[in-house]
Chain A
Amino acid sequence: MNLLDIATEAVEKAVRRGATGAECTLAEGDEFEASVRMSEVETLKEAGSRSAGIRILIGQRVGSSYTSDLSPDGIAQMLDAAFQIAEITTEDPFAGLPDPGDLGKLDGDLQLYSTDIDELSTSQKIELARRTEAAALNYDPRITNSKGASFDTYTGRRVFANSLGFAGEYRSSYCSLSVMPVAKEGALMERDYWHSSSRRLSGLDQPEEVGRIAAERVIRRLGAQKVPTQKVPVIFEPRTARSLLGHVFEAVHGSAIYRGASFLAGKLGEKIAAASVNVIDDGTLPGLMGTSPFDDEGVPSRRTVVIENGVLKSYMLNSYTARKLGLRTTGNASRGVTGNAGISTGNFYLEKGTQSQDELIRGVKNGFFVTELIGQGVNTVTGDYSRGAAGVWIRDGELAFPVSEVTIASTLQEMLAGIAGIGSDLCFRNSMESPTLMIGEMTVGGR
């Protein structure tokens, strides 16, 4: 039986058994990983798996369960488990499925699946990883070691059906090439990494390019110093700026909004960022990582303007949080295979500005260019922001010397309002992206 039939049949069985609503998700996927370290094959991994999940409604009560056993017995046990669960949950006046009028799928080829990924032999895949690492190792004699390079692929299928008559499925593919070289100078070591990922093999950057960028990055870190504590302008390169978009997403997440657990709760229509700031979520852009024909509740993906000219225009919602807030779902429902839907992004990005990264750096007399952030010191309830950082110090408009073992701190409110420059270098590598971003002032904690 094909997956779509298994899903629709599970929904029908749930309804026959007394569920007033049901939704079933099935996922199957095949993963492959080839990793190479110091030119030798380190790991080969290859396998496939499937899983199923169901969520039922009995009036205003819900029950969810999952299984890795897609046989008729396995599905029957999964249904039993969901009905058991529905006995212990509480009536929730807002529980339900999406409005029938919101259901649907995007038409046309979204370019989420490419067969070219399966055309490579194992030895060709190993060779891609080997070339990537070799490019990094050969870049500079101070690169003496490596945490390895890998070429990974994933192909999958996702199926969703509900008791309102929605049934849909789509396939997707993914491949990625990554490398983490280690450089040494004296007794001190540094590592950095770079990667390229795409839904199709032909969309990957050349292995030599990936390796070279990783090598340039790790060499730039050698000899890092700790700077004195001070308040300065901070420039985030795209790799670190995208994490700020992540915090914005958490703060406009429907669940955080209705619970009052976000510094942006209740701020729709208010100015929350510099006037140059436009943030968009778009799940319809062909071929990108955050694109899908429908979300995990069967609502079509769409384009949502989240922040326009610094004004908060929309939250990110699924059908539940939309009902709670008296709004309409934005088609951002997300879940593994089971449970109440959560919320995730489509392609969530900050619109590009006009200045190049070099121009932004040239405009700073004394400041910090951040290339890596570590830790979780961000609280989107209060907006407090404090993270570990590494990067390069800017002196008189030039990248002067590497910096590490420092913190940067502010609040997200002040950071959004203080965005003083947006680069023109927006590039869609992940489902959340930002161009280079300059913040007028943050506290750097160091010596």
Chain B
Amino acid sequence: MNFSESFFAARFGIETRDLQHYLSEALSQGGDYADLYFEYLATSSISIDEGIVKSATQGVSLGVGIRVISGERTGYAYSDDLDPDKIRKAARVAACIASGPAKVESTGLHEGVRRNLYPVLTAPTETGLHERVELVKRADRAARAYDSRIFQVNAMYADSLRHVLVATSEGVLNYDRQPLARMNVSVLARQRDGRPQSGYDGGGGRVELTYFDTHTPEQFAREAARQAIVQLDAVEAPAGEMTVVLGPGWPGVMLHEAVGHGLEADFNRKKTSAFSDRIGELVASPLCTVVDDGTIDSRRGSLNVDDEGNPTQRNVLIENGVLRGYLQDQLSSRIMGASPTGSGRRESYEHIPMPRMTNTFMLAGESDPEDIIRSVPKGLYCVNFGGGQVDITSGNFVFSASESYLIEDGKITRPVRNATLIGNGPEALRHVSMVGHDLKLDQGVGMCGKEGQSVPVGVGIPTVRIDKMTVGGTA
């Protein structure tokens, strides 16, 4: 496919010379760099509650964001109308950041090398609504059938299809079609008149609807129900420093908070991260290698190109414990004199791109997961988490365990109630003493928020033993 057959050219008649005009307008007051980000987003969502499909929505939004960079300054404007006059007006508003005559000659636009990490012929958003509504109905039935103590089921299915087009004053012209689908199931369980407990599971990716033939609503429903039933017997979580074992998969959210955010280049360029100026230093146990990889087929966090037109790649953040690199966007890489890493992302055309993660995970080690559990005389085994948060500057981060168990004498014993775990980014991974061979990525439901912008991401981790971490229970 070439540009003339691409979505925005075919549907809105946009030609490369239009793009060049807009870029020239954006740079008419000077500036070092300008880019255009066209976005067309179609979404649908369907949810079931109390066995009734009470809510479903579909819709479209469309617009273009225009950015001008002058030194460390950014001018930004957007339009939700692709009328050429409206786009030129937005370009002039963005141009106000720069002052003086035009310096940059916009070169010709060249299409980037194309690849497809998500070769989805028919995006879920393009399929019939009747097929999709069945998914939530099946989840509802399966969760209720799992155990008579399940008394509420809420299942949600959501998909989107995003078409993007990026053109820059450096001649980059790239476009992409980005499908995304997920479903999740939340349940409540209750033992007679006892207090209710909740369970949650879900999955998805940049996939066709057939993905849910093998990752079935029934599996998500049963897993959510299992978690809620387990919690019925949970005891108070312990409080204070102890050995923590993280199970494989979603607990990788710890890496996202502990090191991922702190390695985003904007914070490091401004020297406001606890990891600033520490490239080459040992910040983790030599057992730890952490990567951010936007190129894994069909994953929720993957992209063919980032939202600045650069191809995504596999970035090594920490290698055998040593801090190796930052996640760059266009602005930070220009200022720091570094190469882009394909990490420039934004929530929509209304937002300025920032360095962001894609799929962040720790590589597998050599330990047997069962040996890791057996090695702990007293500690906590955390299998599932809710979200987390980090204070980039001090490096303190938290993540909340939604399913965890006491380890006593090397054995998993009782489930404990929800508790938050807290640590310090550059310190926490130094206490990693065993890394399992069972690397697992999460199932594809993660969202990451930064400065008011949400983007889909993935995480992953093998079973890991951390000798010292503070657990926020009450016992």
Contact = CB atoms under 8 A, between A and B. Distances in A.
Do A and B pair up? The answer is yes
B46 A88 contact: yes
Contacts of B270: 37, 145, 147
Given A45-B76, A51-B61, A88-B129, A381 B198 contact: yes
B417 A384 contact: yes
B472 A339 contact: no
A376 B423 contact: no
Interface stretch (A89-97, A194-202, A294-302): A89-97
A379 interface: yes
A40 B72 contact: yes
B77 A263 contact: no
Given A46-B77, A386-B400, A443-B474, A67 B60 contact: yes
Contacts of A65: 57-59
Interface string A45-56: 111011101000
Contacts of B396: 374, 388, 390, 404-405
A161 interface: no
A445 B52 contact: no
Contact of B474 (A41, A84, A224, A410): A410
B59 A445 contact: no
A261 B474 contact: no
Contact of B394 (A87, A190, A383): A190
B474 A409 contact: yes
Interface residues of A, number: 79
A422 interface: no
B93 interface: yes
Chain B contact residues: helix, strand, loop or mixed:
strand
A68 B63 CA distance: 9
Interface in A360-379: 372, 374-377, 379
Contacts of A42: 72-74
A64 B77 contact: no
Contact of B239 (A47, A81, A229): A229
A28 to B, nearest CB: 10
A377 B80 contact: no
Contacts of B392: 191
Interface in A25-79: 37, 40-47, 49-51, 53, 62-69, 77-78
**Chain A interface SS verdict (over half):** strand
A85 B419 contact: no
Which of A44, A46, A53, A388 has the most chain B CB within a 10 Å cutoff? A388
A377 B391 contact: no
A409 B420 CA distance: 9
B196 interface: yes
Interface stretch (B103-111, B361-369, B382-390): B382-390
A405 B424 contact: yes
A375 B400 contact: yes
A82 B48 CA distance: 17
A447 B400 contact: no
A63 B52 CA distance: 13
A232 to B, nearest CB: 12
Interface in A187-213: 188-191
Contacts of A410: 474
B195 interface: yes
Nearest to B471: A445
A447 B393 CA distance: 21
Contact of B399 (A84, A375, A447): A375
Contacts of A356: none
Interface residues of B, number: 80
A255 B466 CA distance: 39
A85 B420 contact: no
Most B Cβ at <10 Å: residue of A41, A68, A261, A390: A68
Contacts of B46: 88
Contacts of A411: 474
Contact of A191 (B55, B78, B393, B470): B393
A340 B97 CA distance: 41
Interface string A242-269: 0000000000000000011101000000
A384 to B, nearest CB: 5
Contacts of A67: 59-61
A132 to B, nearest CB: 17
A423 to B, nearest CB: 25
Contact of B195 (A63, A85, A382): A382
From B188, B397, B400, residue with most partner A Cβ within 10 Å: B400
Given A40-B72, A260-B190, A384-B417, A64 B389 contact: no
Given A85-B56, A89-B56, A259 B188 contact: yes
Nearest to B386: A376
A447 B240 contact: yes
Contacts of B394: 188-191, 221, 224, 390, 404-405
Given A68-B63, A375-B388, A445 B393 contact: no
Given A189-B274, A388-B389, A43 B352 contact: yes
B196 A191 contact: no
B225 interface: no
Given A147-B272, A446-B240, A69 B188 contact: no
Given A65-B58, A85-B58, A259-B49, 20 more contacts: A49-B78, A85-B56, A85-B129, A88-B46, A88-B129, A90-B53, A91-B52, A191-B391, A339-B55, A377-B398, A381-B197, A382-B195, A386-B237, A386-B472, A387-B472, A388-B420, A407-B470, A409-B419, A446-B240, A447-B241
14 contacts: A66-B57, A66-B60, A81-B59, A84-B129, A88-B56, A147-B270, A377-B420, A379-B198, A407-B419, A407-B421, A409-B239, A409-B474, A443-B474, A446-B241
Q: List the 4 closest pairs (A to B, CB-CB), nearest first.
A: A407-B472, A66-B59, A375-B398, A377-B420
Interface of B: 46, 48-63, 72-80, 90, 93, 96-97, 129-130, 132-133, 151-152, 154, 188, 190, 195-198, 237, 239-241, 270-272, 274, 350, 352, 386-394, 396-400, 417-424, 470-474
Interface of A: 37, 40-47, 49-51, 53, 62-69, 77-78, 81, 84-85, 87-92, 95, 122, 145, 147, 182, 188-191, 221, 224, 226, 229, 259-261, 263, 338-340, 372, 374-377, 379, 381-384, 386-388, 390, 404-411, 443-447
